[in-house]
Amino acid sequence: MKDQILDKATDMFLTLGFKSVTMDDIASEMGISKKTIYQHFANKDELVKATTTNLYENISCGIDEIILADKNPIEELFAIKEFVMKNLKNENTSPIYQLHKYYPKIHKSLMIKQFDKMGTCVIKNLEKGIHLDLFRKEINKELIARFYFAGMNSIKDPEIFSPEKFSIKEVQTNYLEYHLRGICTPKGVIKLEQLININNN
């Protein structure tokens, strides 16, 4: 039952937002009593923490599988973007922003884990791209990894990127292209534009 509650809560939080969904909503959706939820999770904060931890672990495992597929580094970043967006339901209601606003301690803990994971992945991606002459050799890998992490988190802010004006997919795709055009060699740009043309058709 605990795993079922976790799955349903994750789905509802990502669809409607961490603040918007109540324990009553989850109980009603599952056809169980709120008391049943409290047998497994002492309060909503504990449930939110459990769902974000579970989600982080699932996404981390999925990213590891994409990296193991040994795609070229440009394709790898596009594949990771698609995978993350699918698992976060395209973040149409900006649940991560709600998490930051209403559950700051949980959000900060998640950001630390994400930074460790993403920093390592991005640096390995950059090293692979440099080795294949797709990324410029002179780039500062540590700095670029931080730029990328900071940007990926900033574009989730609906006050800056209003969902009414920009779709999440549009923002994510343009940000990834922006990142890659800044680090690609001429050879890398050709690969990037081929991939963009494939995705647009």
pLDDT digits (tens, 9 = 90+) for 54-108: 989 999 999 999 999 989 999 999 999 899 888 877 555 568 778 888 999 999 9
CA distance 47 to 62: 23
> Would you state the pLDDT for residue 96?
78
What are the beta bridge partners of residue 184? 135
Q: What is the mean pLDDT of residues 105-128?
A: 92
Q: What is the pTM of this model?
A: 0.87
Assess if residue 37 is contained within a domain: no
Q: Is residue 5 part of a domain?
A: no
Question: CA 52, 57, 135: angle at the middle one, nearest 5?
Answer: 110
Domains in the chain: how many in total?
A: 1
Domain containing 149 equals 44-200
Q: Residue 135: beta bridge partners?
A: 184
| Any domain includes 163 | yes
In a domain, 32, yes or no: no
- For residue range 145-195, list pLDDT tens digits in order: 999 999 988 888 888 888 889 888 889 999 999 999 999 999 999 999 999
CATH number at residue 72: 1.10.357.10
Q: Residue 201: pLDDT band by 50, 70, 90 thresholds?
A: low
User: pLDDT class for 198, splitting at 50, 70, 90?
Assistant: confident
